[in-house]
Amino acid sequence: MAISATCAVEVRTGGSDNNGGLFNASGSSPGTDMSQQNAAQVFIDGATISATVHTTTTQITIVGYTVSAADNRNGLQITGGTATAGFYEIVAVDVPNNRWQLDRAVGTSTQTVVGRMGGGLATPGKAAGVVSGTGCDVWMQSGNYLVTTTSANVANGRVQTAGSSTDAQRWEGYQTTRGDRAARAVLKASGNNGFTLFTGTNNCEICNIETDGNGQTTIVGFATTGLDRFFYCVARSCATGYSFAVANASFINCRAITCGNGFSGNGPLIFCQSETCTTAGFSSTGAIECFFCIDDSSAIGFNVTSTPLLAHCIAYGGTGNGITFGNSGQAIAINCIAYGKTGTGFNTGSSRNNKLINCAGGGNSVADQNNTQAAIFVEGFITLTADPFTNAAGDDFSLNNTSGGGALLRQAGYPTTYQNGTLQYLDVGAAQVQTAAAASTYNTVIASDGINA
């Protein structure tokens, strides 16, 4: 039987996979959360502290420790004795008889219990096994968690979430206080290849977690087989940072650093960044959608060959092309910038269905764009004669006010006016600034996927 979906599981680098590891703040009369500490609060070792199953088999009688209301709703992991091993939740405390009542039967009367109450778990893999099939939250304190086995959902193993289809799991890293979204929890490959460090399924939310291939050559950082949502995550030194075959999985403000492919798959990406990826920062043979995304110095910034939609994206520096479309798709790029590539800024392919709208390019060694079709398919192209960014070498892709550079792009985004007359003040590119309006080079009024400055 699974633990309650309202439990929260704690993972800490100083914890133990033998600890109780969980607390249910949503349960009735919750006590004190003892999962957010390294050591167990109570270690039932069968000697100093002992416990046996009561005649009511959902209860255990404890000797050597005085139970209290503070224990209620904490987790107990039974690891030994003759009772049934597993994770349990304390759902009531019988102080006069020094008993804990657990969420289910733990065996038969007089069986012995060895285990621990309280304290965080030590590995994400162990936590994934605990919450499998539930909608629990998993909180991971910042630090490195080595993945030493390719097995899923075991101690030191990779994570493959298996949440409830109606109640999503949440996995989130934190530094000091849950929800602070400061330093990340890092799943780091150690001595193994050919697997994915973190796989999401069944509508999970994954936030503030980092995956690190750690020099292995065929590691995937994150993958999803369900409608998962990734926020503020980082994939580093992986063959593929993010692999997503499901069109409705989403990525918001995620980052891929020194991977082979940074983001590879189909689905929406918003405010995402890739850096120095050896194959491509963003790649897809399907219907990828990238909004306000930035690639910095990858071999190809955006290698999107079928039916992508790119809006307010940047491809900067590095070898190869900035944005490459296929020859048979229906690709659209709106308000995008390609600058400083050794290849072509916008390699638009030969399909008459591909379209550039109000995009900008400059400083590209081969060409800013190589449209091979009638000029109507490249509308309002802005040619840059100067670097438009404040300090791209320092990862600042906000627009400068240099003539021929950022000054051409400030509030020059498409459209300047909606059909209903609503004014729009978009910049071209990903980072928006508010300044005096500039004239857009392409002002035909059609629908926009942009976001107000």
The whole-chain average pLDDT of the chain stands at 91
Between CA 299 and CA 313 the distance in angstroms is: 16
- 69: DSSP letter: G
Between CA 234 and CA 438 the distance in angstroms is: 36
| Cβ-based neighbour number of residue 46 at 10 Å | 16
| Cβ-based neighbour number of residue 420 at 10 Å | 6
- Give me the pLDDT at residue 225, please: 81
Cβ neighbours for 29, distance < 8 A, ≥ 6 positions apart: 69, 72, 73, 92
- Give me the pLDDT at residue 35, please: 98
Between CA 302 and CA 295 the distance in angstroms is: 8
Per-residue pLDDT of 303-362, as tens digits, reads 998 888 999 999 999 999 999 998 766 889 999 999 999 999 999 877 667 889 999 999
Q: Set out the domains of the chain in order of their start, with CATH numbers.
A: 8-117 (no CATH), 124-348 (2.160.20.10)
- Give me the pLDDT at residue 326, please: 82
- Give me the pLDDT at residue 63, please: 98
Per-residue pLDDT of 383-402, as tens digits, reads 999 999 999 999 999 999 99
Cβ neighbours for 334, distance < 8 A, ≥ 6 positions apart: 309, 310, 311, 312, 357, 358, 359, 414, 448, 449, 450
Given a cut of 90, is residue 202 above it in pLDDT?
no
Between CA 237 and CA 233 the distance in angstroms is: 14
| Helices within 120-228 (DSSP H only) | 124-131
Percentage of residues of the chain with pLDDT beyond 90: 78
Radius of gyration of the chain (CA): 27
- 184: DSSP letter: P
Between CA 128 and CA 152 the distance in angstroms is: 8
Per-residue pLDDT of 103-135, as tens digits, reads 999 999 999 999 999 999 999 999 999 998 888
Residue pair 195/213 in contact by the 8 Å Cβ criterion = no
- 164: DSSP letter: B
Residue 419 CB-density burial (10 A; 0-12 exposed, 13-18 middle, 19+ buried) = exposed
Mean pLDDT of 145-152: 96
CA distances from 378 to 30, 146, 285, 388, 407 (A): 63, 49, 22, 21, 21
- In DSSP notation, 218-261 reads S-EEEEESSS-EEES-EEES-SEEEEE--TT-EEES-EEES-SE
- Give me the pLDDT at residue 165, please: 64
Given a cut of 60, is residue 62 above it in pLDDT?
yes
Given a cut of 50, is residue 11 above it in pLDDT?
yes
Between CA 235 and CA 260 the distance in angstroms is: 11
| Selected residue with higher pLDDT from 273 and 449 | 273
Given a cut of 70, is residue 453 above it in pLDDT?
no
- In DSSP notation, 311-325 reads ES-EEESSSS-SEE-
Per-residue pLDDT of 159-175, as tens digits, reads 999 776 667 899 999 99
Per-residue pLDDT of 280-312, as tens digits, reads 999 998 888 999 999 999 999 999 988 889 999
Among 61, 42, 63, CA closest to 52: 61
Per-residue pLDDT of 90-105, as tens digits, reads 999 999 999 999 999 9
- Give me the pLDDT at residue 448, please: 32
Residue pair 156/147 in contact by the 8 Å Cβ criterion = yes
Given a cut of 80, is residue 434 above it in pLDDT?
no
- Give me the pLDDT at residue 263, please: 97
Residue 58 CB-density burial (10 A; 0-12 exposed, 13-18 middle, 19+ buried) = middle
Among 387, 291, 388, 398, CA closest to 334: 291
**Exposed e or buried b for every residue in 370-408, given b needs 16+ CB within 10 A?**
bbeeeeebbbbbbebebbbbbebeeeebbbbebeebbbb
